[in-house]
Chains A and B, each alone.
Chain A
Amino acid sequence: MKLASYRKKSPWILHYNAGGCNGCDIEILACLGPKYDIERFGMINTGNPKQSDILLVTGPVTKRSRERLVEIYAQMPEPKVVISCGACASTGGVFRGMYNCEGGIDQYIPVDVYVCGCGTRPEQIIDGVVQALGILEKKTKELEESVRLKKEAVNEGKQLNRRNIADEIKPLLS
């Protein structure tokens, strides 16, 4: 089964609010609704980090949601893409410098796509997610490549494999 090809077509989205004003969150919800309907791209919103490919984060990271954000990120399986939705997730926005805010999620987890705007429009979110798909594909390739490279590093001439061993022990057995 070609898992990679399915993943390319239907990435699953995980949404986390790290302290934003809900504005961007309701736009994400509007994206799921019939007018913008990102389900036609095969994306669905899941509640489980272990099944998701794309993490949509809104909000400047508040001190209390920081650990949860990192935890959720760590629970997601590779390859994964992080999208920061909105001005305050990307840079801190108006909340930058408030005493309980950290100013942007990229201080804690690597961000791949920044979506600007306060609040973001659904079109922008969809555009960001489509960009994220490209990145997801690239990351998948990189992941597979490194495995292949490791395999090829082994010099096959000197390596004993099972057939060689069988050939060697055949005369002994007979």
Chain B
Amino acid sequence: MAKQYEIPIGAQHISLLEPLHFKFTTENEKIVNTEANVFYVHRGIEQACVTKFKFRQVSFVVGRVCGLCSISHSTAYSQVAEKLLKIDIPIRAKYLRMLVIELDRIHSHLLCLSHVAENSGFEALFMKTMQYREFSMELLEAVCGNRIQYDFAIVGGVSRDLKPEVGQTILKRLKTFMPQLEEIVDIFKTNWTLSLKNKGAGIINKEMVYRLNAVGPFARAAGVPIDVRNETEDLLPWKEVGFEVVTETSGDVYARNLVRLKELYVSIRIIENIINGLPESALITETKAFPEGEATVRLEAPRGELFYYAKGNKTQVLERLKIKAPTFSNVAAMRAAFEGNEYASAPAIIASYDPCLSCTAR
């Protein structure tokens, strides 16, 4: 047996946005075992949500669980609270929520793609993707008023209306984005140097996805069509606005890139459909009720299935709130996918998981 070395990555590392610790056991530069340590940023949000904050304030707090998918968190919480209050929200609010979720997905996916490019050593592509990503941040700012923490979804509806001229701007910017997206797709698909780092790295297959409970683009890249948008219709009408699942088959970093890129096309189509067919109605349902009973909600965040459970007891403060973030489900599969890869490709593989530790640790 060859000599084994242990190589740590993290908790502070240039290729990691967040504190995340991996300990690789390597043998002849091949990774044979991985230990993941993800709970550096546990803050205790769940507990604070049921003691410090009233249930209407919680939608702003859970937005701070994660800055990348804050709209997914606040929407999922709002939905679960609406289930407890037993109210239905106006149709326009539903559409606007979907609009912001999809805009958020564009920025999150582009960030992840740029990160993969950077960690594979392709700095120019990183810069290019970051440049093209800025338009989504500007649009989000135009729609919600802030670049990252949107505070858009509140219990009962949404906090802002979409002005018609902002809608037109979005359509215009999406049109200019289309050729840029095609350019990136072309590079990710055909660049030979990038393919050396990405093709065949971090493979996960179908059976592993089922066994290890992977979700999101991670699972879809292996050919498993899991997408909450495809499964639930009751809360947000995804099918109505033209959603469809995209999958790839090979399950490596390359396939994950492609899934994300294809999802961008889907997102763009959804956004265009929403703006063109935005129904008129009120923005918020007022109610004086208090949350009662138990409810669960699932929502497709950029990284996969987000799950919320809440329990109310007819007071201002909830009794229990449970958040299960997509990366939390993916950790086991993440560890498995490292096995047998070169240590040198580890940063690219980590980036392609698109891990979100602040979601995981809450």
Contact = CB atoms under 8 A, between A and B. Distances in A.
B148 A29 contact: no
Nearest to A24: B67
Nearest to B60: A94
B44 interface: yes
A60 B61 CA distance: 14
A35 B131 contact: yes
Contact of A100 (B43, B70, B111, B134): B43
A119 B356 contact: no
A141 to B, nearest CB: 30
Contacts of A33: 114, 127, 130-131, 133-134
Contacts of A62: 40-43
Size category of the binding interface on chain B: 35 or more
Contacts of A27: 147-148
Contacts of B42: 19, 62, 64, 100
B149 interface: yes
B111 A64 contact: no
Interface string B133-172: 1100100000000111100000000000000000000000
A65 interface: yes
B67 A99 contact: no
16 contacts: A17-B19, A19-B358, A23-B67, A23-B70, A26-B68, A33-B133, A34-B128, A62-B40, A64-B39, A72-B12, A97-B52, A98-B44, A98-B47, A101-B43, A119-B146, A119-B148
Nearest to B69: A22
Interface residues of A, number: 42
A140 interface: no
Contacts of B39: 64
A68 interface: yes
Interface string B349-362: 00000001010000
A16 interface: yes
A68 B147 contact: no
Contacts of A65: 11, 19, 40-41
Contact of B149 (A59, A64, A119): A119
A111 to B, nearest CB: 18
Please indicate which of the listed interface residues B13, B48, B127, B131 has the most CB atoms of chain A within 10 Å of its own CB: B48
A43 B219 CA distance: 38
Nearest to B130: A33
Given A25-B67, A33-B134, A119-B148, A47 B43 contact: no
Interface string B115-133: 0000000000001101101
Contacts of A17: 17-19, 41
Contacts of A60: 43
Interface string B16-28: 0111000000000
Contacts of B258: none
Contacts of A46: 14
Which 6 pairs between the two chains have the least Cβ-Cβ distance? A23-B67, A47-B14, A33-B130, A22-B67, A23-B148, A19-B41
Interface string B88-111: 000000000000000000000001
A21 interface: yes
A30 B134 contact: yes
A119 B66 CA distance: 11
Nearest to B141: A121
Nearest to A37: B127
Interface in A96-119: 97-101, 118-119
A66 B79 CA distance: 35
A72 to B, nearest CB: 6
B65 interface: yes
Nearest to B128: A34
A33 B13 CA distance: 19
A11 interface: no
A45 interface: yes
A26 B12 contact: no
B48 A98 contact: yes
B111 A26 contact: yes
- Most B C-beta atoms less than 10 A away, residue of A26, A65, A93, A121: A26
A62 B18 CA distance: 13
A20 interface: yes
Nearest to A34: B131
A65 B146 CA distance: 28
Interface string A42-60: 0001111100000000011
Interface string A1-28: 0000000000000001111111111110
B323 interface: no
A134 B79 CA distance: 48
A64 B307 CA distance: 26
A100 B44 contact: yes
Contacts of A29: 17, 111, 130
Interface in B25-46: 39-45
A129 B107 CA distance: 25
